[in-house]
Amino acid sequence: DDMHSLGLVRDFRITASCRHFENKVPKKRQPFKEDNGVLVHLRGRGADVSLRDIFRICNLYGNLDNIVCLWDVFRTCLCV
């Protein structure tokens, strides 16, 4: 049973070592390191802008939902 598990580990190492992936992090990090006077949260490309906008919409919706919920609680307290 131990030999079988060792064989699986060995096979995994062989297949994992055959794959070489390019490290894209330095290229994607470069626009954020440049000092070009643009604010950090505005330096991203299209995907970053989309994620930022989606986050803003979700944040706004959550805040409005909380305000409505608190208003309902406040209103029920006044009516009692």
Residue with tokens 């802008």: 49
Q: What pLDDT is attached to residue 49?
A: 83
CB distance 31 to 41 below 8 Å: no
For the stretch 6-57, pLDDT in tens is 555 555 555 555 567 788 888 877 777 777 787 777 777 777 888 889 999 9
Q: What domains appear along the chain, each with residue ranges and CATH number? A: 2-79 (4.10.91.10)
Has residue 4 got a pLDDT over 70? no
- The pairs formed by 22-29 with CB atoms below 8 angstroms and a separation of 24 or more are none
CB distance 44 to 52 below 8 Å: yes
